[in-house]
Amino acid sequence: MTNLSTSAKITWCPKCYNFQILEGVKKVLERKIKSEKDRQKYAIVSGIGCHAKIFDYLNLNGINTLHGRVLPMCLGMKIARPDLTVIGFSGDGDAYAEGMEHLIHTARYNSNFKYIVHNNQVFALTVGQPTPTTEIGFKGKTIPQGVKLPPLNPIKLMLASGATFVARVFADSKQVEYVLKQALKHKGFAFIEVLQPCIIFHPDAGYKEKTYSLEKTKHDKSNFRQAWKKAEEFDYNTIKKIPVGIFYQTKKPVFEEVVK
């Protein structure tokens, strides 16, 4: 087991849920990486934003790229080095606003890498503007009149775009650990949305208490229609219960093998 910590000072707000994501990711990777040779088999990519600082806190090779360009960077890495295990990290602004066109096509391509979206429902680093997943009625300094447009449903978007692994968890290190372990076993693009309330600009709406695990229900993750139904249960505005876990998983040819 290798310690993947770095000497970089962690500048997330104290108690930020990003710490939970970092801990979950570290737990999985530190168990897998036993030597320097193992460490060289992994690469990470992050965008721009609070989430992106995770790049500085993991002692792994990779690229801290431009805002919204995590996915083409991961894809390029997989084209050049299909043997690498690549993990991308984005915020919801990074993934669903700046990088949206990449997201749809990446799901369609099914390149064999993993993608974690830290969804805090705001552009946090730039102090709280709404993103495509901010709920109707959200008010902030830049939008005192409140958000009027309905949010995107990323789980439905990923299902419709052809993603082969579609999951959502809450920002709890154990949930992140569990889902990343499953994603790493998956051959193809794995989309993982992490509900990560921003303690400063988008306070927790009690999400954790409302979550329930799909694994503990009769949910059949190979059934597209069931996955779609589950995806409709939570849309950021209606918050009765929030399914977490793997919504959908299927097998499809992998980009690197199809386009040689």
Ligand X SMILES: Cc1ncc(C[n+]2csc(CCOP(=O)(O)OP(=O)(O)O)c2C)c(N)n1
Query: Where does this chain bind ligand X (CB under 6 A)?
Result: 48-51, 67, 91-94, 98, 118, 120, 122-126, 131
For residue 126, the minimal CB distance to ligand X (Å) is 4
CB atoms within 10 A of CB 236: 22
Element (H, E) at 247: strand 242-249
3-state secondary structure of 80: helix
For residue 109, the minimal CB distance to ligand X (Å) is 22
Cβ closer to ligand X: 56 or 233?
A: 56
Element (H, E) at 123: strand 122-123
Cβ closer to ligand X: 132 or 245?
A: 132
For residue 77, the minimal CB distance to ligand X (Å) is 20
CA distance 25 to 152: 26
Cβ closer to ligand X: 18 or 110?
A: 18
For residue 96, the minimal CB distance to ligand X (Å) is 8
For residue 55, the minimal CB distance to ligand X (Å) is 12
Cβ closer to ligand X: 82 or 140?
A: 140
Cβ closer to ligand X: 24 or 93?
A: 93
Here the contacts of 203-210 (C-beta below 8 Å, separation 24 or greater) are: 205/239, 206/239, 207/170, 207/239, 207/242, 208/170, 208/172, 210/239, 210/240, 210/241, 210/242
